[in-house]
């Protein structure tokens, strides 16, 4: 709130400038009308012909829909619409034809327009860019509908462009299908002619191979050699079976003949002649038996009958011998037949083997021919399927909503932007004020340059404030949150009595023993505490000569905000670019546990780089100093005057230490920090002691 009050003029100016600039831009922008056409991806097919034989159906998955959005917003489709509507002659889309007005505030468009002057290709590219800037293609929800929005200065022109773009998109889909069909038909025709020649050549090769190898086939396509081989095999089996039967019969006859049982031979038994002879023999035996009862064995009739029986037996024997000879002759004939068949079979088998070897190559030729013929027939089928389909092609997207002529402008929203510029300007002004407060020069406060009469105010009850635990400034602990410093009132007097020497009041600071205040002032340099330190640093630098300035800070009481003020002043000086060294001679609070004994070690010859401690928030270096080291520190202080710009000594209370006589001699400036409600007697005592030690007391710092 203090910053807002202090820099309200800047905030007001930035706000007015922002509103004025916004209003000027809004009223300079051209009025645009927007309209939209809706295109839906349709997966319905034409049932008259299967068009998927050339191109597959357009998928409607999210990635495919996004691809169609890219097609709708492509430069090629934009060029088709530009050529149809002759937008190259429209100043709204051709920056080279623009005369007067402010159609576009984008500086890139003017650079493109200037770079395309005299270059037809660049000018055409600029027209396409302007067209795409007026185009917006979006997907409607989770559907397959795509919205094509176009903005233009003329409402009729916007509707005409949107509808032409949608129509060009659907026409482009049909053109792609027609082109794909024609390309497929041409390729199929060329390939079909190649396959026809290949089939003819392969058929000629098959017939020539058959003629060269005497490969003859029957009407049903079977090999004649194979059929002949089958027939001869059948004859051979039959002949061998007949030979086996005749051989068995002959061997049986021979065996029975050797044993005298030739009459038991089956052909003999089955012979009709032998049967008749045996019947006659049986009749003669019956007659002999009949005559034997009436005549003696030597009777002529008995002798005649016996002779007849012997003649019949001889005839039977001769007949049996004839039958056996016939069987032997049949056996030899059967053997000869089998041998002839086997010879024919061997010859046919040799011919079949040669035929089979030749047919292996023939089968390969015929298989190649069959494959080529199948491919040829499939190409013929495909060619007939894709021919004459140019007139029945339908697009896979259709316009479901044409773009209407808009009745009201769509942009710019002048009242909205001008109204929004008011809070935007306020925020921008506050931001500038905070940046100036942080990085710029603070608003300076007037500080009296000469002693003023001091008056002691009536004592007021103070609210006890419990100070938080002190945090070492040069430790590695995490910095605590910044405390809030109360605003300071103008300086007031101490008392009515006049001290021997009354130095001027250089600044007013908050009397807080919390070291976190020294951290907080770095982030809030524009605070009253930070401004007071800045004024105090300016007064000290006015006292500086060519060498470094050695300043000792002391107070009326032990650590009534003195250590915090010393550390904060050192940090403000370091931020101002001064090489600053802070010597802590007040009980070592700012640099506890300093390495190697601090200033005493440097006096004894220790290196300064290994003794000082660096501040964790600034470029300030700190050095601890015990009370009895000051008489021997003259040489060290003289060397520090050559390497530093400001040496701050956080000195002890003058009346409570013996270090002040040599410290007063080493200091260029002594500052006394006194509380606003300090007792007059204490102030007089400290001032007299400093005067007695010839300390260069140059000013007071009021601690509230």
In tens, the pLDDT along 336-390 reads 888 888 888 787 777 777 777 777 777 888 888 888 889 888 888 877 777 666 5
Here the tokens at position 456 are: 């002691």
Q: What is the pLDDT of residue 593?
A: 44
Name the percent of the chain lying above pLDDT 70.
77
Residue reference for tokens 């012997």: 310
CA distance 618 to 475: 13
pLDDT exceeds cutoff 90 at 424: yes
More confident residue, 392 or 443: 392
Closest CA to 625 of 607, 611, 605: 611
Please write the tens of the pLDDT for every residue from 39-75.
988 766 655 555 445 555 566 678 888 888 999 999 9
Name the percent of the chain lying above pLDDT 90.
13
Q: What is the pLDDT of residue 256?
A: 65
pLDDT range class, residue 666, cuts 50, 70, 90: confident
Q: What is the pLDDT of residue 568?
A: 92
pLDDT exceeds cutoff 70 at 99: no
Closest CA to 596 of 609, 611, 615, 613: 611
Distances (CA, A) of 490 to 445, 447, 493: 10, 9, 10
Please write down the HEC assignment for all residues of 241-284: HHHHHHHHHHHHHHHHHHHCCHHHCHHHHHCHHHHHHHHHHHHH
Here the tokens at position 615 are: 């501040």
DSSP conformation class of 503: P
Closest CA to 648 of 529, 525, 553, 577: 553
Q: What is the pLDDT of residue 476?
A: 37
- Three-state DSSP class for 622? strand
Dihedrals φ, ψ of 699, to 5°?
A: 180, 165
> Which of 25-39, 176-190, 596-610 is modeled with the greatest confidence?
25-39
Q: Please state the separation of Cα 517 from the chain's center in Å.
A: 50
**Mean of per-residue pLDDT scores for the chain:** 77
More confident residue, 452 or 555: 555
Contacts of 31 (CB under 8 A, 6+ apart): 153, 409, 411, 412
pLDDT exceeds cutoff 70 at 573: yes
pLDDT range class, residue 221, cuts 50, 70, 90: low
213 CB neighbour count, 10 Å cutoff: 15
Describe the crossing of helices 155-212 and 75-85 by its angle, rounded to 10 degrees.
Answer: 120
Dihedrals φ, ψ of 86, to 5°?
A: 55, 50
Least confident of 17-26, 427-436, 555-564: 555-564
Distance from the first to the final alpha carbon of the chain:
22
CB 530, CB 524: distance < 8 Å:
yes
Q: What is the pLDDT of residue 135?
A: 92
Global pTM value? 0.41
> Which of 289-293, 511-515, 578-582, 679-683 is modeled with the greatest confidence?
578-582
Please write down the HEC assignment for all residues of 160-198: HHHHHHHHHHHHHHHHHHHHHHHHHHHHHHHHHHHHHHH
Q: What is the pLDDT of residue 647?
A: 92
Contacts of 500 (CB under 8 A, 6+ apart): 684, 687, 688, 691
pLDDT range class, residue 498, cuts 50, 70, 90: very low
pLDDT exceeds cutoff 80 at 524: yes
CA distance 329 to 249: 12
pLDDT range class, residue 257, cuts 50, 70, 90: low
Q: What is the pLDDT of residue 682?
A: 82
Q: What is the pLDDT of residue 479?
A: 36
Q: What is the pLDDT of residue 458?
A: 42
pLDDT exceeds cutoff 50 at 94: yes
Q: What is the pLDDT of residue 426?
A: 92
Q: What is the pLDDT of residue 220?
A: 59
Mean pLDDT of 472-496: 38
pLDDT exceeds cutoff 90 at 442: no
pLDDT exceeds cutoff 90 at 81: yes
pLDDT exceeds cutoff 80 at 633: yes
CA distance 303 to 286: 14
Torsion of CA 167, 169, 173, 178, to 10 degrees: 60
CA distance 334 to 340: 10
More confident residue, 6 or 278: 6
């Amino acid at each position: 709130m203090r910053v807002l009050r202090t820099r309200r003029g800047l905030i007001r100016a930035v706000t007015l400038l922002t509103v004025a600039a916004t209003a000027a831009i809004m009223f300079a922008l051209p009025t645009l009308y927007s309209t939209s056409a809706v295109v839906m991806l349709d997966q319905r097919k034409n049932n008259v012909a299967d068009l998927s034989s050339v191109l597959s159906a357009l998928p409607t998955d999210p990635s495919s829909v996004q691809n169609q959005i890219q097609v709708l917003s492509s430069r090629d489709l934009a060029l088709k619409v530009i050529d149809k509507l002759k937008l190259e002659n429209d100043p709204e889309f051709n920056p080279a034809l623009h005369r007067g007005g402010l159609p576009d505030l984008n500086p890139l468009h003017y650079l493109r327009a200037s770079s395309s002057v005299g270059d037809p290709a660049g000018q055409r590219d600029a027209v396409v860019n302007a067209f795409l800037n007026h185009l917006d293609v979006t997907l409607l929800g989770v559907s397959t509908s795509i919205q094509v929005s176009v903005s233009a200065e003329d409402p009729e022109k916007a509707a005409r462009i949107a509808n032409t773009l949608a129509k060009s998109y659907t026409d482009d889909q049909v053109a792609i299908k027609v082109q794909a069909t024609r390309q497929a038909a041409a390729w199929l025709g060329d390939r079909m002619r190649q396959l026809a020649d290949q089939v003819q050549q392969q058929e000629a090769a098959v017939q020539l191979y058959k003629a060269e190898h005497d490969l003859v086939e029957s009407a049903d396509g079977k090999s004649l050699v194979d059929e002949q081989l089958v027939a001869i095999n059948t004859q051979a089996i039959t002949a061998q079976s007949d030979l086996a039967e005749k051989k068995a019969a002959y061997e049986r006859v021979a065996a029975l003949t050797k044993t005298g049982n030739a009459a038991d031979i089956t052909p003999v038994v089955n012979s009709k002649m032998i049967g008749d002879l045996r019947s006659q023999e049986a009749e003669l035996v019956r007659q002999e038996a009949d005559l034997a009862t009436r005549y003696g064995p030597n009777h002529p009739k008995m002798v005649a009958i016996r002779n007849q029986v012997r003649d019949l037996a001889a005839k039977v024997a001769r007949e049996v011998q004839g039958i056996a000879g016939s069987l032997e002759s049949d056996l030899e004939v059967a053997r000869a037949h089998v041998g002839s068949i086997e010879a024919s079979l061997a010859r046919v088998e040799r011919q079949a083997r040669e035929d089979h070897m030749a047919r292996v190559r023939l089968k390969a030729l015929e298989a190649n021919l069959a494959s080529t013929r199948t491919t040829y027939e499939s190409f013929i089928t495909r060619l007939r399927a894709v021919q004459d389909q140019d007139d029945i092609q339908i697009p896979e997207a259709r316009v479901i909503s044409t773009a209407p002529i808009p009745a009201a402008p769509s942009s710019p929203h002048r009242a909205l932007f001008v109204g929004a510029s008011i809070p935007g300007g306020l925020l921008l002004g506050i931001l500038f004020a905070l940046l100036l407060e942080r990085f710029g020069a603070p608003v300076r406060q007037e500080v009296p340059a000469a002693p003023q009469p001091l008056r002691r105010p009536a004592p007021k009850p103070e609210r006890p404030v419990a100070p938080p635990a002190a945090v070492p400034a040069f430790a590695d602990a995490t910095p605590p949150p910044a405390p809030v410093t109360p605003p300071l009132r103008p300086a007031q007097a101490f008392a009515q009595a006049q001290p021997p020497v009354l130095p001027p009041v250089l600044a007013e600071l908050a009397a807080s023993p919390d070291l976190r205040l020294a951290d907080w002032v770095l982030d809030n340099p524009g605070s009253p505490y930070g401004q007071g330190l800045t004024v105090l640093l300016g007064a000290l630098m006015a006292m500086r000569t060519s060498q470094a300035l050695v300043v000792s800070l002391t107070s009326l009481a032990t650590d009534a905000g003195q250590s915090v003020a010393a550390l904060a002043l050192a940090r403000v000086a370091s931020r101002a670019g001064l090489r600053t060294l802070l010597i802590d001679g007040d009980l070592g609070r700012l640099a506890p546990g300093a390495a190697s004994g601090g200033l005493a070690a440097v006096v004894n010859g220790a290196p300064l780089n290994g003794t000082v401690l660096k501040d964790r928030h600034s470029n300030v270096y700190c050095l601890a100093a015990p009370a009895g080291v000051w008489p021997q520190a003259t040489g060290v202080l003289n060397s520090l005057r050559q390497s530093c710009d400001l040496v701050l000594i956080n000195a002890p209370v003058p009346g409570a230490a013996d270090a002040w006589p040599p410290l007063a001699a080493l200091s260029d400036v002594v500052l006394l920090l006194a509380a606003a409600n300090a007792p007059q007697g204490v102030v007089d005592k400290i001032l007299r002691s400093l005067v007695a030690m010839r300390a260069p007391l140059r000013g007071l710092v009021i601690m509230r």
